[in-house]
Structure formats: structure tokens, C-alpha cells
Structure 1
């Protein structure tokens, strides 16, 4: 069965996901939703085939698609995902999926009312083979002393901010900022590898508009801490590491996972990763396809859903610890 794919959001990450989805041979791009016909048609020229372009969301969701990939600004995810679920359309929503646990609880209720519909949060790195290598190596380590995960990448929109504009990706009004964007990658990695922390603290560097441009988060576990360093206002080339007693897992980039090494602390440094895929979203697209075609076990689907909710919970607590509020927080 080929899944009929519709997309919301006409940006670079949408293009990357579509290319990944097509590469799996499990999806066919059939519909594009855009606020304007012109922009939608322009985006469609990136792909072969005859995709319908819609500017009416309800009509788009009723057009016969099996699954919608949502990569709109974060603040729009909740309403668009809710509309899709009510229409019987499966959902793949980009991180950060939803603003807070209250939104997530409403989505969970809608999924219970529509049991044939599935929802996945796109977090590409945790589905890659090189992330699984890290998971397996951690299981083999006798002791974990802590970890540091770094992902700082200068945003192409930060120049707009400096010019006095208020781009979506750096605006609280669109539920965005460093934590809600790049910070999700190290946070997802930490919770997937180590579970929920006992406490969490976020020390944010705020922009003039109240959004966070960069920051450091500390996740406290019973016997160690995990430090997350991320930002959109500068570049960092620092490695990420998981510390044992003497041994260390060394990761070139916790989001991109280009190379992973294991240092046994006795002078032996071994590359344990495989060459990174050209498109880092292929493996997650395949995982989602398997889930939508009932080729996953119930546990695999539920584990992905629970992990997403845990990330959402900790994201919210981190924001609260830094005093960052989104407009939707006032709705509950």
C-alpha cells in the first residue's frame, strides 16, 4: 500500500522529508496546503507528479490523503493536527509537536475518539542507525557519570532579527526560540537514552522580544547530570559526549550524528558509527510508514508516543524555569 501524503509547510525541512518519504517507496506526494496558491504551486515544482494545491485546510484534509506531514510554525501545530485527526487523517508533526502538556492531552483525547488515526512526532536523529549505536554502547558501559550534548547553529533568520524584524523561528508568538527548535534535538537524545530527569533547569539568553536565542539546560538524574547546550544565535563546533568512568562516547554532533567514537580510556579510540545517510530523514519516514501500515508492534508505536509526551513535558518545565511563556499557555 502506497500512502497518499499531504504536506503543510513549504520550507526546506518539508522538501527534505518529502524526498526521504519518496525514497522509501512507501509514500506518494498528492497534496500541498499553502496559504497562497502561488507559493504552493512554486513549491510543487520541486517534485515530479501532479500534486493538488489547496488553500482551504478542510478541503485539503478531505481530499483523500492518508497522512499529513505538518511543518508549519509551532504555534499552528495543535489546531492543524486536531483538524486532521477529526478528519480521520494520520499525522506526522515536526518537533516541537505541541506547546504544552495541556495541548498534548487534548490531542491524546482526540486520538482516543478516533482510534484508527495515528500521530507521530518527527525527531529524525533518534531513528538513525548511529543513534542506535549510541544506545547499544551505553548498555555495555559499566557506569554513567553524565553527558553533554551540544547543538548550536546560527539561524539563517537571525540576521532578520538583528535587522529589527521578528521572524517566526525566533518569536514567542509562534511558540519558537532556541529551546523549542534546536534544543529539542539534545533533549530528545537525553530522554531517549536516560529517561525522565528528576529535575530540570534552563538558563536562557533572552532576545529583546522575550524569546530565547540560546541557552544551557541541566537535567538532574539520581546519580549524574546531563548538560544541554543549544542556540540559534551562534555556531558551535564542540563535541557531544557520554561519560562513563574512564570511557567516553564521543559524538561529532548530537543532531546530525555524522560520526560516533568510543574511547575506552586506555588509549584505544574506535569509530563505532556507520557513514551518515545523505538524507537523515529516510529512516524516520520508514518508521512512520511501518506504523501507518501496521508493521510496528503496539509497544513500538506506544513507546514513540510516550517519548514524545515526555519530551513535551520537560520542554514545558524548562521554559517555565526560564520564565518563557507562549500565548497558548494562557489558554489553560
Structure 2
């Protein structure tokens, strides 16, 4: 049994716990929040006894073994490093951190304290991602990768009214590239590795973050296009184009509704059944890494996280998106 603590009491933590609760090796034992009221309110929903408002006390508690971190991105590195120094294994919500410097510091801490650290990018762990990978040979040499994830934020209406919530604050290392674009970029890296060139464009909001944007990359034999937005919706599927056909993906973040469309127009459905809450799979893999004494997950590897962050950093440089965390990391 792996006893978990959580940092963050928002909807994504609820969703993580819903997926994790389907694993018989998972138990929630502790909750950290900045305020005692929020910590106890969240803990009460799950009948959890241990609550903390002091990060050091939380990190060094003997009430749990591993922690799920869903604090604002600007705090990921600090929270993860503090918990690892307390001997805790950590799974950190995407994006892993604010920049590459922070990611490398997190990885070095995991090595030093011999604990598992993994980015909570769910997509490569779902069964349909494996089915997609296995289908690449069916479409011949791949020449173009197009990932599309545009989702109108429930917080954008408030933004237009003059209320800037966390999702649109640069001091929290947020914006559409970090929050949404990473869902497009990480799987591309998992499939094709490190690109040779990165370019980016974006529509910048007055708060200082991007509302929507596009990242394009070049590989030796293919081009990649990643489109993302927090201020518009899109009904266009994602697609991997090859010389003999294309793989069309309806919902890219969960890898749902996948089919191969061959040159002659025939279609082959290649997706299958998987858990409705896809966060189940990342949690299962993380727990297996802990049980196998692997400080690096074999799917969400450190190199994938580093390379994804390199692309995010390069894209931010292109569009002029600077975070306070960048100055601290210098």
C-alpha cells in the first residue's frame, strides 16, 4: 500500500483522486494547503485525518510515503524539492516546472535523496497512446504531426470583466502554452524526440501571458505543429500524416477516437477501451516505479520532461513570455 499526501485542493486534485481511488494500492493519508480551513475542508471530503499548513512539517511527516503536487506551476519546483528532501516520492502536475533550470534541480534532488519523481503527463500512459504508436508504421514515413487542443477557459469570462484569476497570471507561470500547449508538445516529444528547430507565435493578453498560440518544430524528416488556446474552442481533430495515410485523433489529451485513414480512403479504427478517468494510468505507473525502486519512470522519462521544457522555454522566448521564476532561476 502506498500512502499519499496531496498539495493542492482544486478540481484537478479531485480528478486525480477519483482515478487513483480505483487502484487498490492507493490510500490518501494527508492534505496540505496554505490555510487550515481549506486543508480541513478538503480532507473532510475524503475522511482524511492528517492536515498541514506548514510545508516542512508536511514534507517530513511520517503519515505518508508519496505526494501528488497540483499547486500553481510557479511553486512546483519548491514544493517537489522540499518533499523529496523529506524522503517523499513525488508526482508533479504538468507542466513539470516553470523552466528547464527548475526541472534539472528537481531531478538532481531525486537522485540525491533516492526518491521517485515523475511528471504527471497522462497521455503517454493511456492504452490508446500505445495503439497509436503501433499504428505509425501503417501510414508509412511520417511527414507531419498536428496536435490541436483549444479549450475556452471557464476563467476567461472573469478575465474579460477585469478579474485576473490564477490561470492568466505570469507570476504563477501560467498561460495557454504552459497549461494547454504542453498537452500537445509532450506527446510529440514522446513519439519523435528532440526537434532541430522551434518557432512560436501567440496572442498575448494584457496580464502578460498568452491567450492562444502555435508552436512549430522541425525534425529531420517531418514537421510538427502544436495549436493551443484558453480563449477559443476548436472542433478540429489532431492528425499524424504519413505518405501512405493519416492517423486522426478526436480528443488528443485522452487519445480518444483514433482511426487510420489510408490513401485510398479506407478507414481502420485503432482505439480501444480504456478507463474513463485517464489519470488512473499515470498513477498506476508512478506507483509501479516506487514499488520497483525506480527513481525515474520508464514512460514519462526525465529526458522527455527536459526536452518538453526546452521547447516551452524556446517558445516563450519567441513570443516574449517571461515569468518571475525565470529571474529566480538564473
Aligned to 1:27: 26
Counterpart position of 1:237:
235
Deviations 1:3-54 (A, max 9, x none): 110000011111111121121111110000011122122222332x333111
- Where has structure 1 moved over 6 Å in runs of 4 or more? none
User: Of 263, 266, 269, which aligns to 1:268?
Assistant: 266
| Matched residue, 1:129 | 127
Change (3 A) 1:299 1:106: closer
1:287 maps to: 285
How has the CA–CA distance of structure 1 residues 300 and 208 changed in structure 2, closer, same or farther, with 3 Å as cutoff? closer
Correspondences of 1:108-147 after superposition (within 5 Å): 108-115=107-114, 117-147=115-145
- Once the 2 structures are TM-superposed, how far is the Cα of residue 106 of structure 1 from its aligned partner? 1.8
- Residue 93 of structure 1: aligned partner: 92
TM-superposed deviation, 1:301 = 3.3
* d(CA) in 1 for partners of 2:251, 2:277: 16
Greater shift in the superposed pair: 122-131 or 37-46: 37-46
**Partner in structure 2 of residue 106 of structure 1:** 105
**How many angstroms does 1:299 deviate by?**
7.9
CA contact (8 A) 1:153 1:233 kept: yes
Q: Show the counterpart of 1:330.
A: 327
**How many angstroms apart in 1 are the aligned matches of 2:130 and 2:299?**
18
Q: CA deviation at 1:303?
A: 6.0
Using the TM superposition, give the Cα deviation of residue 321 of structure 1 relative to its aligned residue in structure 2, in angstroms: 1.3
> Once the two structures are superposed, what CA deviation does each residue of 1:144-201 show, in whole Å capped at 9, x if it has no partner?
1102110000111111211112211111110000000110001011111111110111
Structure 1 residue 263, shift from structure 2 partner: 0.8
Q: Identify if the C-alpha distance between structure 1 residues 223 and 128 changes in structure 2 by more than 3 Å, giving closer, same or farther.
A: same
TM (norm. structure 2) is 0.95
Counterpart Cα distance in 2 of 1:95 and 1:245: 33
CA distance in 2, matches of 1:142, 1:29: 46
SS at match of 1:81: helix
Aligned to 1:32, the other structure's residue is in SS state: strand
Shift of 1:262: 0.7
Which residues of structure 1 form unaligned runs of 5+? none
Deviations 1:247-301 (A, max 9, x none): 01000021122210011121211111013421111111100010011176x8853
Equivalenced residue count is 328
2: distance between equivalents of 1:53 and 1:204?
41
Q: What is the aligned partner in structure 2 of residue 301 from structure 1?
A: 298
Q: What is residue 212 of structure 1 aligned with on the other side?
A: 210
Where does the alignment leave 5 or more consecutive residues of structure 2 unmatched?
none
RMSD of aligned residue pairs (Cα, Å): 1.6
SS of corresponding position for 1:252: strand
Q: Retained in 2: the 8 A contact 1:257–1:276?
A: no
- TM-score, normalised to structure 1, is 0.95
The worse-fitting range, judged by mean Cα deviation, of 78-87 and 270-279 is 270-279
Partners in 2 of 1:275 and 1:200 — Cα distance? 35
